[in-house]
Every structure is written in structure tokens, then in C-alpha cells.
Structure 1
Amino acid sequence: MLISTMPWSAAPISTRLGAYYAASFLVVGIQLPFWPVWLAGRGLDTQEIAALFAAAIWAKVIATPLIGGLADRLGRRRGVMVALAAVACIAYAALWPAWGFWPLLWLNLVAGVAQSALMPLGDSITLAAVRGASLDYGRIRVWGSLSFIVAAIGSGALLAGNSAPAIPGNSVLALVLAASALLLIACLWIPPAPAATGRSRWAALGRFAADRRFWLFVASGSALQSSHQLYYGFGTLYWRELGFSDTLIGALWAEGVVAEIVLFWQSALLVARMGPLGLMALGGIAGILRWSLIGVVPGLAAAAVLQLLHGLTFGAAHIGAMYFMARTVPPGAAASAQSLYAAVSAGLGSGFAMLAAGALYGAYGGHAYLFMALLSAAGLGGIAALARLGRR
């Protein structure tokens, strides 16, 4: 109650939501490019890194829907988000002295589950504002992408400026801790969402759970998002093998997000013209092209060109999925449905893809990206089937 009466809560809803995404992706922008490098510096090999990432992803399959359901049941999504952000801060702090596979595994699980469960809850609050206040989701979400660029470039510059292995590892972890503290503050600032009654929530859950189109959407979105797992887990290591500097690698990560920003900024127009499923299909087509070429055309020029496709492989697919959810899922079950989608798309499917990515990358190096192209093709096929069902 105190938070909602403070002067800072008078800021526009779009500003408060934008600050939440900025803080969320400040953490991600530090972790995603260089967390595998930090883990390698703590003595883990590629198989152990893949197993650690896969275990964290699979944990989301169970934890994320339960947390989303709890948030809907309590009617206190913001309160649940604050608690999760605090848990993530504590777990990251406990990583500072940790060495060895098992301590790193368990602490990463706690921090990763808490942090990942925040995103579907934040998305459900944002999509409620999109429906109720006619806000533009893309122009709110874009602040997360801008924050990612700052974090990715800054992390790359930090690593390039420190040659001793222990120094950049501690520096990256310190940055993650600081960013996590900012995320906790942003969760305190995020606007509360209206709560549904227990009866209306269960009725809403029953409606979408019985809809086979929803489950086909979940499977298709999972394939499209899972196609990024080799890139997320081993993209930096692959580019290092090609001789790219850490500063250049950070710039390549940032370039992909610039393309994503352009897509997000124009998303309302694109959704109006193509529809949610059209955008998801565009992401699948771009994924087939991107992942088929990235491992067989390894030069810097090719990497720079293919990174532009991230605006479609992630950006278009994500925006399409969010608007599909906003248009088809009843508001009373928004957090539960959003968390279920996140659990499967970023959990079950991505967990298997990450585990396979570790083995494939160890065996085939950059050529393992061809496996990701197959996932994009599967997602595209699912979207085509979903569109046919919608016309019946």
C-alpha cells in the first residue's frame, strides 16, 4: 500500500513498465553474452555449461506456471515479482565464492528460476495495459532492448580491458548483482494489475486449456524460440574461436538487438498489416535463413549481416506471440497462460535444445547451427497449421 501512495507512482504507466523492461534486460544483457565465459572461468567445460543451462531451463517448466498461478490466485502479481527479484539478488550474491559444478548448478537454478518467472508476470501486466489503456506493447518493450545494448557493449568493453581471468569474472558478477538490485527497485515501481475472482479465473483457464489452437501456438512458439539456444549458449564461444575480440562480440550482440528495436518500434503497424501469426511466420522464415548460414559462412561480414535477422527471428516471433496471447487469452487467466507459454517455450523446448546444442557444438562447432534451422522450420510449419485451423 505504501508503494502505491509514493510520489514516484504518479509516473505514466508506460514509463513504469518501460523502466521494468530496462532493468530486466540490463541483467540479461550482462549475462547472455558472457555468462558462459564466466562459467568456463569457474572451471566448467562445454558439456557442464550446457547441462547447467538445460537444468535451469527445465526447472522453469515446473516453477514458472506454478508461480504464475500463485500470482493470479493471490491477485498480487507485483508482490510476487518483488519477492522473486529479492530471491534472485540473494542467489547471485551467494555465487561470489562458489566454485565447482554442483554449487554453481544449484545457485544458478535458484537465481535463474526466480529471474525468469518475472518476465511472464511483467508481460501479463503490460498486456493488460495494452488491452485496457490502448498502449503499444512494442514501444514499451523496446526499452528492454535498448538496455540490453548498453549492457552488452559495456560488458564487452569491461572484459577487453581486463586480461586476468579472475578479474572480468568478478566484474561481470558484480555487474549482475548491481543490475539485479535495480530490477528489484523496478518491480516495486511497476503498476499493479487488476485481480480476477477465483471463479472467473478458473473459467478462463478452462476455456484456453481446452483450445487446441492454444497448444499448437505454444508448440510453434517454443520451436521458434528454442532455435536460438545454440546462439545464446555458445555464440560468444564460437565467435571467440573465429578470433573476434570481446569488444567486437559485444557489438555483434548489440547489433542484433538494434534490429530488434526497429522491429519493436514499428510493431503496431506490422501487427495491423500482417497479424500475429504473420509475424511469427516471418520469424520462422528468417530463422531458416539465419541458422543455415551462420555456421558455414563464418567471416565477420557474414556475421554482421546475419545478426540483422535477429530482429525477425526473435523480434517478429516474440511480438506475434504476445499479440496472439493478448487477443485470445481471457484477462482473468493472463498470468497463468503467460507463465505456461513461457515455461514451455523458454523451458521444456529450450531445455532439450540447449542440451542438444552442447553435444552438437562440441562435435561439430559452428555447423551445429543447422540443427537450429530445423527448429525454425518446425515452428513455421506449426504456424501454417495454426493459420489453417483459424480459417475453419
Structure 2
Amino acid sequence: MNILSGIPYWWLSGFYFFYFALVGALNPYLGLYFSDIGLTAYEIGLINAVFIGTKIVAPNVWGWLCDYTGQRLRIITLGSFLATLFFSGMFFWETLLPLLIVTFLYSFFWNAILSQFDTVTVQYLSKDSHHYSHIRVWGSIGFIVSVVLLGFVFDLISIRYLIPVSWGLLLFIWLSGLRVKEPPKNAVESDHHHWLEVVKRPMVVAFLAAAFLLQFGFGAYYSFFSLYLENYHYSRSMIGLLWALGVVAEVLLFVVMHKIMPRVGVAYLLFWSLLLTAIRWFLTAYYVDHLWVLIFSQCIHALSFGACHAACIELIRCFFKGKNAGQGNALYSSMTFGLGGALGAFSSGLLWDINPKQLFVVSGLALLLAAAIVWVGLCTKNRYESLNR
């Protein structure tokens, strides 16, 4: 941990803690809140698609702005403040059209800040970027605290208290971001290639395609996993515990990720994680009424998110350097969490009324394709050797 002594460890970690505490509030429970106020599955899928879809445009706009101005932290804190301001509309409206507008406005700013904050963290770490997981782990801890606590709370009180809780977490995200300063200039690597040149490389295309399919598969999980479990008579506290179990496994993996990644190799780590994630979604589809199988499948989240995200952040660092760093993170966010997540959420809303199991079958098939793309695009001998030079 001596490597982390020269950076603002606790302020960086605090930002991740509150950011993912909010994710732990919204991802499992926002669908339940929308259902409680009378929205249909199609309308919930549409709102989730708008929420995730803002990541398609917003990260690229903010990534370009941050790289152009060099004022990354100032733009991040501005985005946090505006997200908090616009989220306030949730207190006043409960019908579809106003909720779509409010969701678009606050998520346009909130969805743009994480990729840029990841850029700040990686620039602080510089050549020790494999220690990223030591900081990012606090985001997972924040998620666990939020999802477990709120699961028990919402068994006792109305799910409608989700909105003030979420607004408060947005406020803390803004306040914690104010305490972080720009990383030193000597921590930033240079690259003379334009980011569009980098995107055309076959390995980068393969990486982005696989990451897109990964988040397409997560669209069903983020939008309908809680409702799926409620249909099988799981309590809200049990739903919260199952969400948290996956992130506990993720935390444990993050703690040792800095040792695993150099030994396994980033490409092989991503391949095996994608393959096991496909198995996870098939288990969720066909064995949801078997608690122990569901517990096992949730433990695979350590790989589905923890290993995949760490591998993707490292690949972005390898592919996009210097002034391309912010744009690289933004492109990754928009193509995967944005386009992939939005299409996954929207298609899940359409499939829900036909057969809820099919949501996770489709997710499993998408992940099998993603694993095949990584094997061909990143794990073949010549490409793997060029990646590790």
C-alpha cells in the first residue's frame, strides 16, 4: 500500500463510496419504486433505457471537454452539482413524461462523471495502475452498505423513501468531489496518435465489441433482477442480500486483483470472466427458484463486474494515453454502459411480458459471443504478445 501514500487515497475512495452507494440504491430498488407508483414494465424499461442511454452522448461530450480544457475535476464537480439539482424533480412528478425528462436531465450529468473520475484515479496511479482496485474497492463497499441497509429498510417502510435517500447520496458525491485536486502533470503519459486512429485498431474494436455485449447482458440484471426475484416470492431484504452478495465477492477479488492481473494477463482474465458470466446468466434464468444455485451465480459477480471492469480499465490505459485518456474512458462508457446497457434494458422491457426467463437467456448468449470475440481479438498469440509489449 506504500504506492498509494503519495495520492489523495481517502478522497478518491470517498467519491467512489458515495457514487456506488447511489448505484446500490437505484439499481435494485428504482424499478420497485416505479412499479409502486403505477408504471408498467414497458414504461420502466423505457425510463431505464433513457437513463442508460444518456451515457451514449454525455461521456463523449464531457470527455472531449475535459481533455480540451484540462480542468477535469472542476467539470466533474459541476456535473455532480447539476445532477443533484435536476434529480430534485423526482420529488414532484410520478407520471411517465415528466419522469423521462427528469431522468434525461440528471443522468446526462451523473452518467458522465464516473469515466472522467476513473481517468483522474489512473493518472494519479500512473504506472502503478494495477493498484486501481485498491481505490475502486470502496465503491463496492458503498454499494454493499447501501443495498443491504435499504433492503431491510424497505421491508419496514415505503419504497417511496428511495428518492430522498438517493438525493442525499448525490449531494455527498458532489461534496466529496470538491476535495480532490487535479493529478500532477508528470503523472500523465503522452501519445501522439489521435484517439480516432486508436479506435480503428482491430484489438480496440474487439475490446469495445466485447464490452458492449457485456453491458447488453447486464441490462436485464440492472433493470429487472429485483422484480424477477419478487415474482418468485423473495422478500426485499433477501433481494438486497443477494445483490450485496455479488458485490462482497467483487470486493474480495478487488483486494487481490493487483496480484492476479499480472500473472493471468489482462486478455485471458477478461476472456474467462466473460465465459463464466454467460454461465451465471443461464443459471439465473433456469434455477432462480433454487436459492443455493442463485447464491453461487451471484458469487460469479466477482468476475462479471470486478474482474471485467478492472481488465477494461487496464486495457483503456494501454490503448488510450496522454490527452486521449479522457476520451478513451468516455468512449468506453458510452459504447458499453451507454449503448449496450440501453439496448439491454429496452429489449428486456419488451421480453418481460413474454417470458421473464428469456431476459437472462439472451444475456447468456450475448456473453458467449463476447467471450468468443475476446478470444479471437485479444488472446491469439500475435495480438496477445503485442498487447503485453
RMSD: 1.9
Matched, 1:390 2:387: no
Matched, 1:28 2:23: yes
C-alpha contact 1:76 1:193 (8 A) present in aligned 2: no
Runs of at least 5 residues in structure 1 that lack an aligned partner in the other structure: 1-9
Which of 137, 150, 166 is matched with 2:145 structurally? 150
Q: Which residue pairs with 1:290 in the alignment?
A: 280
In 2: Cα distance, 1:42 partner to 1:120 partner: 32
C-alpha contact 1:19 1:186 (8 A) present in aligned 2: yes
Report the CA distance between 1:361 and its aligned residue.
2.0
C-alpha contact 2:58 2:111 (8 A) present in aligned 1: no
In 2: Cα distance, 1:235 partner to 1:369 partner: 9
**Alpha-carbon displacement from aligned partner over 1:325-378 (angstroms, at most 9, x marks no partner):** 122211221111100110000111221111111111221112431100011111
Matched, 1:52 2:47: yes
Matched, 1:174 2:164: yes
Q: Which residue pairs with 1:253 in the alignment?
A: 243
Matched, 1:98 2:112: no
- 234 and 206 in structure 1: CA distance in 2 versus 1, 3 angstrom threshold: closer
In 2: Cα distance, 1:228 partner to 1:82 partner: 28
- Which shows bigger deviation, 223-232 or 332-341? 223-232
Matched, 1:82 2:77: yes
Q: Which residue pairs with 1:115 in the alignment?
A: 110
C-alpha contact 1:14 1:135 (8 A) present in aligned 2: no
Corresponding letter in the other structure for 1:62: V
**Alpha-carbon displacement from aligned partner over 1:54-92 (angstroms, at most 9, x marks no partner):** 122222212210111101111011011111101111111
Query: For 2:149, what is the secondary structure of its paired residue?
Result: helix
Q: Which residue pairs with 2:226 in the alignment?
A: 236
Report the CA distance between 1:316 and its aligned residue.
1.1
C-alpha contact 2:50 2:103 (8 A) present in aligned 1: no
Q: Which residue pairs with 2:349 in the alignment?
A: 358
C-alpha contact 1:55 1:351 (8 A) present in aligned 2: yes
Matched, 1:39 2:55: no
In 1: Cα distance, 2:227 partner to 2:200 partner: 43
In 1: Cα distance, 2:128 partner to 2:279 partner: 37
In 2: Cα distance, 1:302 partner to 1:212 partner: 38
Q: Which residue pairs with 2:313 in the alignment?
A: 322
In 2: Cα distance, 1:19 partner to 1:136 partner: 16
**4+ runs deviating over 6 angstroms:** none
In 1: Cα distance, 2:144 partner to 2:222 partner: 15
Provide TM-score, normalisation by structure 1.
Answer: 0.91
In 2: Cα distance, 1:313 partner to 1:18 partner: 22
- 114 and 271 in structure 1: CA distance in 2 versus 1, 3 angstrom threshold: same
- 210 and 305 in structure 1: CA distance in 2 versus 1, 3 angstrom threshold: closer
Matched, 1:220 2:220: no
Report the CA distance between 1:116 and its aligned residue.
1.2
- 374 and 132 in structure 1: CA distance in 2 versus 1, 3 angstrom threshold: same
Q: Which residue pairs with 1:379 in the alignment?
A: 370
**Alpha-carbon displacement from aligned partner over 1:120-173 (angstroms, at most 9, x marks no partner):** 0011111112225667101110000001000001111111012xxxx321x111
In 2: Cα distance, 1:57 partner to 1:338 partner: 16
Which structure 2 residues correspond to residues 60-79 of structure 1 after superposition, within 5 A? 60-79=55-74
In 2: Cα distance, 1:292 partner to 1:133 partner: 36
Runs of at least 5 residues in structure 2 that lack an aligned partner in the other structure: none
Matched, 1:161 2:156: yes
Report the CA distance between 1:193 and its aligned residue.
3.4
C-alpha contact 1:129 1:135 (8 A) present in aligned 2: no
Corresponding letter in the other structure for 1:212: P
In 2: Cα distance, 1:210 partner to 1:45 partner: 41
In 1: Cα distance, 2:77 partner to 2:192 partner: 25
In 2: Cα distance, 1:135 partner to 1:379 partner: 23
Report the CA distance between 1:202 and its aligned residue.
7.4
C-alpha contact 2:130 2:261 (8 A) present in aligned 1: no
C-alpha contact 2:130 2:258 (8 A) present in aligned 1: no
- 190 and 70 in structure 1: CA distance in 2 versus 1, 3 angstrom threshold: same
In 2: Cα distance, 1:292 partner to 1:206 partner: 36
Which of 293, 299, 304 is matched with 1:308 structurally? 299
In 1: Cα distance, 2:71 partner to 2:342 partner: 29
In 1: Cα distance, 2:212 partner to 2:114 partner: 16
C-alpha contact 1:20 1:186 (8 A) present in aligned 2: yes
In 2: Cα distance, 1:100 partner to 1:21 partner: 31
C-alpha contact 2:12 2:135 (8 A) present in aligned 1: yes
Q: Which residue pairs with 1:267 in the alignment?
A: 257
- 135 and 355 in structure 1: CA distance in 2 versus 1, 3 angstrom threshold: closer
Corresponding letter in the other structure for 1:390: R
C-alpha contact 2:124 2:184 (8 A) present in aligned 1: no
**Alpha-carbon displacement from aligned partner over 1:212-231 (angstroms, at most 9, x marks no partner):** 32122111111122211111
